Chain A
């Protein structure tokens, strides 16, 4: 069964902290994605990766970085968390090109105080 897991369901951090959100998929997918979800805005792509050590900016990369050292793991990093980064973060993966859908993790609700 397809599975994408995220390290935390809920996370509370202070302004200025460095925050790591981890995502692991067990499907040997090439592509992995990080989105943030805010009410009325849908899901917006932060970064994605199509291979190990490869990454591309999405629509809203400012304030974020990513790391993909292994195929199954894709990390989102907030170098210095700010209150406007309070949001729901969703990780997804997909098996390369060809119209395949993305499979999503359960999401991490991050609150920055």
Chain B
């Protein structure tokens, strides 16, 4: 299995503030995809954002954006203007080969009102 490291087990953010979740991974491949998934208390895994490794431009999806540093094998997620509904566990998941995702241990995000 690919090694995926999410070094922050928990993060807390004030409503309307910004929080950044870190992720590093290990691969020797040059072409792959990276995903961030969100798992709220309902347990339903939801895709937050996708990044193609061959693209230099960082992906953005509304209040969610990534900072992809290919050489450093780093893929962080920034949540801007945090909302109460953002409270969830977030998983970084590179897809290095054709089928499989590798998941980090997850970061639990708490949003303070």
Contacts and interface: CB of A to CB of B under 8 A. Distances in A.
B47 to A, nearest CB: 5
Interface stretch (A16-24, A69-77, A79-87, A101-109): A101-109
Interface residues of A, number: 24
Interface in A43-60: 43-45, 48, 50, 58-59
Given A94-B99, A99-B95, A42 B43 contact: no
15 contacts: A35-B103, A40-B9, A42-B103, A45-B101, A48-B100, A58-B100, A88-B43, A92-B45, A97-B98, A99-B95, A101-B35, A101-B47, A101-B50, A104-B44, A107-B44
Interface of A: 31, 33, 35, 40-45, 48, 50, 58-59, 88, 90, 92, 94, 97, 99, 101-102, 104, 106-107
